[in-house]
Amino acid sequence: MATGPTHKIAILDDYQQVALGMADWSALQSKADISVFHDHLADPAAVVARLKPFDIVCVMRERTPLPRAILSQLPNLKLICSTAPRNASIDVAAAKELGITVCGTGYTSHGAAEVTWALILGLVRNIPAEAGSLRSGGWQIAVGGDLDKKTIGIVGLGNLGRRVGLVAKAFGMDVIAWSQNLTAEKAEAAGAKLVAKDELFRAADIVTIHLVLSPRSRGIVAAHEIGLMKPTAYLVNTSRGPLIDETALIDALKHRRIAGAALDVFDTEPLPATHPFHTLDNLLATPHIGFVTRETYAIFYRDTVENIVAWMSGKSIRVTQPA
């Protein structure tokens, strides 16, 4: 006698409605009912109500947090498949206590480095406003700047920071860097010069942030650092919103103490409709698209399917450990 699917899978926050097309899910068709949700739920009670029927939940990085308070109300949940190797918004320790397996996927950081440069060029050459002028029937409205012989300050010279620095060199820029554990030797090997944190913010024409969010790095760019920047300088963040003191940045932009900023990440995502960032004309903002590329999504969903198939078969998977 034939039996129906034995598992219920939820795919969350599929904003672009592409999850099922980015990988071959056919291996799961006879074993699971798959539900895809394209909207985002911010209310924890609504998240619990949605997820209660499911024993497998697929989350896209840090879009829907899964803290202990939510996990403890999902008795059916047995497997969380997150994209990328780590996801700081999942309480992995609580999941382990509750008997819930958490697994991750492969990842490529190319997209985040590339979008960093898209934002930098957009800022320096005033591209959004110029494009808007042309679209509305106008012509040139501002004078942009050069990158050649300018200084870029990279806060965090890891994989992403190094990639950004290499492109800066190609543009003829001087590259300076700082992070809490960076040494002069490591900076030099990456084509950068190690400087003190305050010196970086004073000297750089562009400051770009490339750090992992942690208790130590949260708010690492605050009013003091922003206050050191030149009035002609720009601040760019494509890593995590809480690395920068949002209130201090808004104040600096409103009073034009810096030339502008570009952000792909925010304290609260999606960005609330009433947020001041929507109205600042010296801010270039994008909706956390640094990792949103076809190539990255293909890795995410391919590995997600493989993880679920392996878990159902009792085989080993890429288990995420507590941070």
Q: Is 173 found in the same domain as 118?
A: yes
Looking at the domain assignment, is residue 320 inside a domain?
A: no
Can 288 be counted among the known catalytic residues?
Answer: yes
Domain check: are 155 and 245 in the same one? yes
pTM for this prediction: 0.93
Question: Does any domain span residue 318?
Answer: no
Q: In this predicted structure, what is the pLDDT of residue 88? A: 87
- Tell me if residue 269 is catalytic: yes
Residue 81 within a domain: yes
- How many folded domains does the chain comprise? 2
Q: Is residue 19 part of a domain?
A: yes
For residues 271 and 157, membership in a common domain is answered with yes
Residues 164 and 75 reside in one and the same domain:
no
Q: Is 255 exposed, middle or buried (0-12, 13-18, 19+ CB in 10 A)?
A: exposed
* In a shared domain, residues 82 and 166: no
Same domain, 130 and 98: no
Q: Are residues 280 and 151 in the same domain?
A: yes
Together in a domain, 97 and 178: no
Same-domain check for residues 116 and 103: no
Radius of gyration of the chain (CA): 22
Q: What is the pLDDT along the chain (323 residues), one digit of tens a residue?
A: 456 789 999 999 999 999 999 999 999 989 999 999 999 999 999 999 999 999 999 999 889 999 999 999 999 999 999 999 888 899 999 999 999 999 999 999 899 999 999 999 999 999 999 999 999 999 999 999 999 999 999 999 999 999 999 999 999 999 999 999 999 999 999 999 999 999 999 999 999 999 999 999 999 999 999 999 999 999 999 999 999 999 999 999 999 999 999 999 999 999 999 999 999 999 999 999 999 999 999 999 999 999 999 999 988 776 665 54
Return the CATH number at 134. 3.40.50.720
User: Do residues 102 and 120 both lie within one domain?
Assistant: no
275/136 same-domain check: yes
Q: Would residue 323 count as lying in a domain? A: no
278 counts as catalytic: no
* pLDDT attached to residue 320: 66
Euclidean distance between CA atoms 232 and 98, whole angstroms: 52
In a domain? residue 116 = yes
Q: CB–CB of 261/235 below 8 Å?
A: yes
Residue 2 lies in a domain: no
pLDDT at 86: 84
User: What's 146's DSSP letter?
Assistant: -
| Domain-located, residue 157 | yes
Please tell me the predicted confidence (pLDDT) of residue 150.
98
Residue 244's CB is within 10 A of a number of other CB atoms, namely 27
User: Distances in Å between the alpha carbon of 184 and those of 165, 189, 210?
Assistant: 15, 9, 18
Same domain, yes or no, for 200 and 75?
A: no
Domain extent at residue 209: 110-285
Catalytic residue among 114, 130, 199, 269: 269
Q: Is 13 exposed, middle or buried (0-12, 13-18, 19+ CB in 10 A)?
A: buried
Out of 62, 163, 288, 306, the active site residue is: 288
State the catalytic residue, choosing from 61, 163, 210, 240: 240
Determine the pLDDT at residue 315. 84
